Amino acid sequence: MSQFCGYTLELVLNDSGHTTIKGIIKKIVDKKLLVSNSVYLDGTTYKDGDTLINGTEIKDLKVVDLPKKRKKGKKKDTEKKERHNQQKKNSKENGKKAKSKSHKSQTPEDDHDTVYRQSTPSNITEIGSGWDVEDAQKVKKMDDFDFQSNLEKFDKKSVFEEISRQDSVNPSDRLVSVNKVAPENQKYGNNEMVLEKHKDVWDNIHDGDYTRNGSQKNNHRTASNSVGDHFKESDGFMDASETLNKGEMPIINSMKLSFKYAGKPAAACSPLQLAEIENIAREKFHMDRQTLVENSSRNIAELIIKKVLGEFRVTSSNHNSPPLVLLLAGNNRAGSIALATGRILFNHGIRAISYLLHDFEQSEDELTNEVQHNLDAFEACGGKIVTQLKSLHQILGKLDSPLEFIVDGLQGYDTDLNDYIEPELTRSKELVKWCNSLDLPIMSIDIPSGLNASSGTADFGNYLKAQYLISIGLPLNSILNTYKFGYFKPSELTHFVVDNGLPKNVFKSKSSFRKFEKSWFGASWSYQLTV
């Protein structure tokens, strides 16, 4: 409140006589005025000097004079001069008692000046701030400020139109246009906000490099990356000059091993014995090769569905993409069985792709009748056929179904991968290495490809790391050697024998075959062997 110091006031007190005091505000402390050069103007008494007046004792006040502007350096001198002049003025007023009454009623000019200063809103507000000096009734009678009427006086529309006319800036150059976000669509049609069903391209996929007339097609498409990094050129699968590391000489386990079925010993045969048994079945019992192939493939397909993939995967209640199986087919008996198995799996709702290890342009051998027959049937039923890894990669990259299982029919008991010539030899090496890198379950027919069917040794340098083994009709004794040489452990390889329809009487044709009749099939068309 120090900003009011120096004001000259006339104070009307709340006493019965309404005593009037005139003086200069010297100090304001706790709602109390310290008035200097105070003079009583009631005409009866007078008193000079400093007077302390409580704010509650004041009824009314008038600002008579404002303090004069002073320089900071002469503040003290100016106060002394004002005090001295005021004392002189007071002495003159005391000597003239007749004029003391005239101070109560000032001249019109002085009264007008006093009223003007008192009516100044800023002065009244500043002096009365924090004091109970304003009359509440007067404030209540004051009119409220009419905002609406004052706003109507301002024509905003014309003002903005004028601003727009004078604006020459391109709207696209404004920052608000650059940072403008498109409004979010709140209304959608009845065909929107619906996730479109992904369309699978299985039916639209054409065989990558194989046609029904047995010719290859040039394929200039580049491979995609949907099967991971297994098909990258840097992995070496496409390098024809790559030589696989030869396996070290196996350490032969001297322990004698044998097959068992239901706790009883099961006899094993050599590849020559198995070939002779099948020839007798064809010649004496009229069991042609295709019949044996069909019986074998049907039982293998049942094992795959029940033991590997699971029956629930091929039911109508499964709304996911169907399983995908890869068939490795060679130009031999095992290749025919693999193709027939793929056809049966496809008929049961499982997608099947066959990799045929055969070059139609450079191979010296033609496809056997059984392989050609099953190849045509497989393709006609909807299976996909490829003869190159790049083409296989392209088809796998277009499908939603991931590759889940591999059926190995490259070799079988009647052929060896070492017997192939270029380019099949290089392709077989690439294929074996690639399949092992996928870390998928593999089911081999007769014996894992890459192992010798007679001795069980890895003469090829590499072999398929199968988890399942299928013996057609009878197990080969060379499989026991794979355990002895350490290529597999009995706990790592699940071994099944499936019925291919060999007549039981075929074992009676020679005395050396009678031992195979003891462990022949009973109520089921397959049984599991243990070692």
- Domain ranges within the chain, ordered by starting residue: 2-135, 233-242+251-529
If we measure between CA atoms, which residue out of 421, 414, 424 comes closest to residue 452? 414
pLDDT for 376-418, tens place per residue?
Answer: 999 999 889 998 888 888 888 888 888 999 999 999 898 988 8
Which of these ranges, 66-80, 106-120, 125-139, has the smallest mean pLDDT? 106-120
Q: E strand or H helix at 277, and its extent?
A: helix 271-285
Better-scored residue on pLDDT, 206 or 295: 295
* Residue 138 pLDDT greater than 70, yes or no: yes
Which of these ranges, 6-20, 86-100, 292-306, 310-324, has the smallest mean pLDDT? 86-100
Which of these ranges, 92-101, 328-337, 460-469, has the smallest mean pLDDT? 92-101
Which of these ranges, 172-176, 235-239, 364-368, has the smallest mean pLDDT? 235-239
Token couple for 488? 């597999």
Per-residue confidence (pLDDT) for residue 432, from 0 to 100 = 93
CA 86 to chain centre: 89
pLDDT band at 119 (very low <50, low <70, confident <90, very high): very low
% of the chain beyond a pLDDT of 90: 24
pLDDT band at 76 (very low <50, low <70, confident <90, very high): low
Q: E strand or H helix at 274, and its extent?
A: helix 271-285
pLDDT band at 375 (very low <50, low <70, confident <90, very high): very high
* Residue 30 pLDDT greater than 70, yes or no: yes
CATH top class, domain 2-135: mainly beta
The type of residue at 79 is E
Fold agreement (2-135, 233-242+251-529): no
If we measure between CA atoms, which residue out of 24, 29, 22 comes closest to residue 2? 29
pLDDT for 31-69, tens place per residue?
Answer: 787 878 777 776 555 455 677 788 788 888 888 888 776
* Residue 297 pLDDT greater than 90, yes or no: yes
* Residue 269 pLDDT greater than 80, yes or no: yes
Token couple for 324? 């995908």
Provide the 8-state DSSP code for 56: G
If we measure between CA atoms, which residue out of 402, 411, 491 comes closest to residue 456? 411
Per-residue confidence (pLDDT) for residue 442, from 0 to 100 = 94
| pLDDT average, residue stretch 157-180 | 79
* Residue 368 pLDDT greater than 60, yes or no: yes
Q: How many CB atoms lie within 10 A of CB 471?
A: 25
| pLDDT average, residue stretch 10-34 | 79
Encode 427-443: b = buried (16+ Cβ within 10 Å), e = exposed: bbbbbbbbbbeeeeebb
Better-scored residue on pLDDT, 505 or 91: 505
pLDDT band at 448 (very low <50, low <70, confident <90, very high): very high
For the chain, give the mean pLDDT: 76
pLDDT for 214-256, tens place per residue?
Answer: 444 443 333 333 333 444 433 444 443 343 444 444 555 556 7
pLDDT band at 436 (very low <50, low <70, confident <90, very high): very high
| pLDDT average, residue stretch 330-355 | 93
Better-scored residue on pLDDT, 15 or 132: 15
Alpha carbon distances (Å) from 120 to 113, 114, 123, 125: 11, 10, 6, 9
The DSSP-derived string for 333-374 is HHHHHHHHHHHHHHHTT-EEEEEE---TTT-SSPPPHHHHHH
Q: Which residues contact 94 (CB under 8 A, 6 or more apart)?
A: 46
Helix (H, G, I), strand (E, B) or coil at 432: helix
Q: Which residues contact 232 (CB under 8 A, 6 or more apart)?
A: 225
Give me the phi and psi of 476, to 5 degrees please: -85, 140
Could you tell me the fold of the domain covering 233-242+251-529?
Answer: Rossmann fold (3.40.50)
Better-scored residue on pLDDT, 494 or 212: 494
If we measure between CA atoms, which residue out of 447, 429, 15, 27 comes closest to residue 240? 429
What is the Rg, in whole angstroms, of the alpha carbon atoms belonging to the chain?
Answer: 56
Per-residue confidence (pLDDT) for residue 81, from 0 to 100 = 66
Report the alpha-carbon angle 405-482-433, nearest 5: 45
| pLDDT average, residue stretch 112-131 | 45
If we measure between CA atoms, which residue out of 273, 283, 292 comes closest to residue 510? 273
The type of residue at 60 is D
| pLDDT average, residue stretch 267-286 | 91
Q: How many CB atoms lie within 10 A of CB 17?
A: 8
CA 257 to chain centre: 53
* Residue 118 pLDDT greater than 50, yes or no: no
Asked if omega into 423 is within 30° of 0 (cis), the reply is yes
If we measure between CA atoms, which residue out of 15, 11, 13, 36 comes closest to residue 25? 36
